[in-house]
Amino acid sequence: MSLAEAPPSAHRPGHARRGGSPGTRLLGVLGELLITAGVIVGLFVVWQVFWTDVEGSRAAASHIDSFEQSLPVSPEQPAVEQTGPPPTEPAPAPGETFATMFVPRWGADWQFPIAEGVARAGVLDAGFVGHYRATQMPGEIGNFALAGHRQSHAKPFYGVDRLETGDEIIVQTAQAWYVYRVTESYVVAPTDTDVLAPNPGDPTAEATERTITLTTCHPLWSTRERWIIHGVLDHWVDRADGQPAELIAMEEDG
């Protein structure tokens, strides 16, 4: 049949397949549902990979702002390094912002708020680094253990593989600045909670050091393992006295 002989259609072209057998129409609906599902999964990837970073960074900046406004002033001058027992930090309520952290290796722009607990909703997915509730507080003898995302949700610990032994991890609370130095970096299974023990080097022994631990996922784009960073307290400084020289140097370098 040539085109010229085709009978004139009463329907608009878009409606040509409106008839069809019930089976054909069912297949059509099924196809549309599958396409819709594909689009939604695609949108989820965009949300997970891109949008959670946008929202997370925005949330982190606003948490830092409101926390720093609540803090007593700390003059911008190098303070005396103290190695004696630091002040006792009060136990925060779940979800409460009680500290912020700096890692000069990750750049002068990198600062993250620390909240109590490691819940996904309200803490890790809300622009915070989370503090494992069962672990010790900053400066305390034992283990100050933190969890953070390595991808998505502002990916606070994205640069974990660039940390080197001796790098500073600086924690700011309402009372003091704590300067830790990285001692160890390794990978464990997600079930290996010994890294959170007060003495991660020897979980059965009593803690003697003031340790910090960072935990995040590994490898990139996977949750198969956990990347662990340990550090020990090098010194602390009183807020009223000034700030750690390492922090001032970082801010001057830009």
Partner 1 sequence: MYGWLWRHLPGPAMVRVLILLALAVGIVVALFTVVFPAVAPLLPLDQNTLGDGS
Give me the residues that bind partner 1 (CB under 8 A), please. 14-15, 18, 28-29, 32-33, 40, 43-44, 47-48, 51-52, 118-121, 124-125, 130, 132-134, 147-153, 157, 188, 190-193, 195-196, 215-217, 223, 226
Between 125 and 140, whose beta carbon lies closer to partner 1? 125
The CA distance from 133 to 142, in Å, is 13
Between 46 and 71, whose beta carbon lies closer to partner 1? 46
Between 183 and 193, whose beta carbon lies closer to partner 1? 193
Question: Closest distance between partner 1 and the C-beta of residue 67, in Å?
Answer: 22
The CA distance from 173 to 239, in Å, is 9
Between 35 and 240, whose beta carbon lies closer to partner 1? 35
Question: Closest distance between partner 1 and the C-beta of residue 11, in Å?
Answer: 12
In 33-175, which ranges are E strands?
A: 97-102, 111-116, 129-131, 142-147, 168-172
Give residues with Cβ within 8 angstroms of 63, minimum separation 6: 97, 113, 115, 127, 128
Between 79 and 115, whose beta carbon lies closer to partner 1? 115
Give residues with Cβ within 8 angstroms of 253, minimum separation 6: 108
Contact predicate 98/146, CB 8 Å: no
Question: Closest distance between partner 1 and the C-beta of residue 93, in Å?
Answer: 15
The CA distance from 40 to 38, in Å, is 5
Question: Closest distance between partner 1 and the C-beta of residue 157, in Å?
Answer: 8
Can you spell out the DSSP letters for 7-47? PPPSS-GGGTTSSS-HHHHHHHHHHHHHHHHHHHHHHHHHI
Tokens of 168: 């500073």
Between 153 and 210, whose beta carbon lies closer to partner 1? 153
Question: Closest distance between partner 1 and the C-beta of residue 248, in Å?
Answer: 31
Give kind and range of the element (H or E) at residue 233.
strand 225-238
Question: Closest distance between partner 1 and the C-beta of residue 31, in Å?
Answer: 9
